[in-house]
Amino acid sequence: MGERIQKIISAAGIASRREAEKMILDGRIRVNDAIAKLGESADVSVDKIFVDGKPITPKEDNIYIMLNKPRGYITTMSDERGRQTVLELTADIKTRIYPVGRLDMDSEGLLLMTNDGHFSNRVMHPSGGFAKIYEVCVVGDVETATQTLRFPMDIEGETVKAVSVEVVNISQGGGVLRIAISQGINRQIRKMCAACRLKVRSLKRISIGKLSLGNLKSGSWRHLSKEEVDSLK
């Protein structure tokens, strides 16, 4: 089904519709072997559209997924040391997607992935105000440490503060904490715990904003619903 050429150009992210109309009037757009005319339509499934001699492709639909990242995987697109990456867990998704932020190799849990750069920046930037909650199994004096964790701390010259700190349980020699943060400092939870003389045995992100990992199995992924995406936009 055909669409106005300026709409196709705009949807491909090349220019606004008004700018695309001017490009057509200037003779910079070609459909197949002919110079495009203003008001003309084309079908991207059949026609080849060129801007300044370069072919354009329709913009891909945005994809948003939630992955339960296992330990041992890194959140990069590739690794020169041959370590496993999260892309191996999402190989059946044909569209190229990227991790939203990071979970270090020894951490697990909720990781968002998308091809929408604006969405990714919105979620990662502290101004978005999205709390990220982690369950942290630690060794050390939990009761004493939590008193420090609940107040601002100086980590490597930067002030950090947890949104909340909850003691899930205390066992002999350690326990489990649920820590929420909204900043995005590299390895922030681990550094905060280390500053309180707690050794992290395991770290799992269980939620971002209103999104919860739920019963998603380790190594599995699912698409986000429209409501879930909107809650982060």
The candidate with the shortest Cα–Cα distance to 66, out of 230, 233, 231, 225, is 225
79 as an active site residue: the answer is no
The one catalytic residue in 47, 61, 79, 104 is 104
CA 103/CA 99 separation, integer angstroms = 9
CA 31/CA 80 separation, integer angstroms = 42
The answer to whether 92 and 105 have CB atoms below 8 angstroms apart is no
> Which region holds residue 102: left if phi is over 0, alpha if psi is between -120 and 50, else beta?
beta
CA 154/CA 120 separation, integer angstroms = 27
CA 184/CA 189 separation, integer angstroms = 10
Enter the tokens of residue 23.
């490009």
Identify the helix (H) or strand (E) that includes residue 195: helix 188-195
Catalytic residues: 104
